[in-house]
Chains A and B, each alone.
Chain A
Amino acid sequence: MENLKQELKEKIIKDLNLEDVDVADIANDDPLFGDGLGLDSIDALELIVMLDKDYGIKITDPKEGKSIFESIDTMAAYITENTKK
């Protein structure tokens, strides 16, 4: 799980062009949106594409996104849970 969290941080920085952010700047429970990492609605769409492209997980209900993308912790938990199936 810790490896996955590290991987997610690296992917988010790379895929979302967060050039002024380091992996060490992102705590596992930091909010990804709003006051935390400050991601926006386009970033949310990119995260949905990332889950599909890199982990084979399709989010069919957009309402799910809010809880899945709350933090690195919640993303990692969702990916772990859904790739077991």
Chain B
Amino acid sequence: MDKKRYIQSYCRIEGNQVSLNGKVMYKDAAEEVKDFFKGLYKHMEISYRKFFKMDNLSKLAFLASEVLSKDIGEYHRNTAIVLSNKAASLDTDREYQASINNPDEYYPSPAVFVYTLPNIGIGEISIKHQLKSENAFFVFNEYNASFHHNYEELLIKTGKSAAVLAGWTNIDADNYEAFLYLVSEIGEIEHTEQNLNKLYNN
């Protein structure tokens, strides 16, 4: 008999606030995105030097994955990662473009360039948790619960993955939003399109 899949844990990061499973766990009044991310990093007592080298999109995905990890423990080594957003890596693309706009001051930064792809954040999470699993990054106009649900179900049903870390991680200048959740065979909230929409819109 086919086992059910559940949304084991979920979190949101937006508007200087972090919630885990519907409860606010952190907020501050930082005026800049990078300061809010740094404050959250310190609040969670993470020690991972590479964090400070990441672009803001990767930091957002990384922090959301750490919030979930604090709740569920270490990720299963065969946890797939499926993320999506609206603007890919546009936020960092702009920063890189600014470094090469002026022919007289043409110093492209290798450290910025490596983040001019949206899926790099997936790599950062995978490195931190030693995940060598399925992964994908999609671009939609808005969070697409139907697509996510189908893709996540397929990964587990076909045995490709034991669990799926998934959701929406979008950033555009000062506006950022993460809705990240873990789909597994453990939990109370059934993994359905309706429930994903409900949690996202809460």
Interface residues of A, Cβ cutoff 8 Å to B: 16-20, 38, 42-43, 45-46, 49, 52-53
A34 CA to B108 CA, complexed, in Å: 25
Among B49, B52, B111, which residue has its beta carbon within 8 angstroms of that of A46? B111
In B91-120, which residues have CB < 8 Å from any A CB?
Answer: 107-111, 114
How many A-B contacts at CB < 8 Å in the complex? 28
CA distance A42 to B111 in the complex (A): 6
Given contact pairs A16-B53, A17-B53, A19-B52, A53 touches B107 in the complex (Cβ within 8 A): yes
For the complex, give the distance between the alpha carbons of A42 and B38 in Å: 22
B107 near A46 with CB under 8 A, answer no
Among A19, A43, A52, point to the contact of B107 (Cβ < 8 A).
Answer: A52
Q: Which of B49, B108, B109, B114 contacts A20 (CB 8 A)?
A: B49
Q: Chain B, interface size: which category? A: 10 to 19
Chain B positions within 8 Å of A, measured between CB atoms, are: 38, 49, 52-53, 107-111, 114
State A42–B114 Cα separation when bound (angstroms). 8
Q: How far is the CA of A43 from the CA of B49 in the complex (A)?
A: 13
**Contact partner of B110 among A18, A38, A46, CB < 8 A?**
A46
Known: A42-B53, A42-B111. 4 other contacts (CB 8 A): A20-B49, A42-B110, A45-B110, A45-B111
Q: Are B52 and A18 in contact (CB under 8 A)?
A: yes
Does B49 contact A38, Cβ atoms closer than 8 Å? Answer: yes
Cross-chain contact of A18 among B49, B107, B109 (Cβ < 8 A)? B49
Listed by A's residue number, 8 A-B pairs whose Cβ atoms lie within 8 Å are A17-B53, A20-B49, A42-B53, A42-B110, A46-B109, A49-B107, A49-B109, A53-B107
Chain A residues within an 8 Å CB radius of B107: 49, 52-53
Q: How many angstroms between the C-alpha atoms of A18 and B50 in the bound complex?
A: 9
Q: What is the bound-complex CA distance between A16 and B49, given in angstroms?
A: 11
Nearest 9 pairs between A and B by C-beta?
A45-B110, A19-B52, A17-B52, A53-B107, A17-B53, A46-B111, A42-B111, A42-B110, A49-B107
CB-defined contacts of B114 to chain A, threshold 8 Å: 42
